[in-house]
């Protein structure tokens, strides 16, 4: 799928409906390339380029799929998404175990 909108979709691991929501667009505008002229698209591509280089494409996609980052994008809160990207670029991807009981100790 050609176009810069699809480059963003691939980079962030977004589904097509999520991409439409992020850009406030419809599938036909994306398919026709009209969405490629949206200034938000260029900004998001520029913002995510550095993070993609620093943490790698797979880590960026994994990070984007998590909350609150995905929520920031889908809600159009690009300032919060940019702040989160800055932290990602500085610290890298951290994966932590969620709340809950600790796994049982393994006997030696």
Output the pTM of the full model.
Answer: 0.81
Per-residue pLDDT, 97 = 64
Instruction: Check pLDDT > 90 for residue 89.
Output: no
Per-residue pLDDT, 93 = 82
Sign of the alpha-carbon dihedral angle for 89, 37, 10, 62: positive
Mean pLDDT, to the nearest integer, of 10-20? 96
Per-residue pLDDT, 11 = 97
Longest CA–CA separation in the chain, Å: 62
Q: What Å distances lie between residue 67 and 52, 62, 105, 107, CA to CA?
A: 18, 11, 30, 35
Residues 21 and 99: their CA atoms lie apart, in Å, by 30
Mean pLDDT, to the nearest integer, of 85-108? 71
Residues 107 and 73: their CA atoms lie apart, in Å, by 45
Q: Which of 67-71, 76-80, 104-108 has the lowest mean pLDDT?
A: 104-108
Instruction: Quote the distance between the C-alpha of residue 71 and its chain's center.
Output: 10
């Amino acid at each position: 799928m050609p176009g810069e909108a699809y480059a963003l979709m691939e980079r962030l691991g977004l589904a097509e409906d999520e991409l439409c929501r992020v850009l406030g667009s419809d599938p036909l505008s994306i398919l026709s390339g009209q969405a490629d002229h949206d200034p938000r698209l260029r900004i998001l591509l520029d913002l995510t380029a550095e993070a993609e280089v620093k943490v790698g494409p797979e880590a960026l996609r994994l990070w984007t799929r998590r909350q609150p980052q995905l929520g920031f994008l889908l809600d159009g809160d690009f300032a919060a998404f940019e702040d989160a990207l800055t932290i990602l670029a500085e610290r890298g991807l951290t994966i932590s175990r969620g709340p809950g009981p600790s796994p049982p100790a393994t006997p030696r």
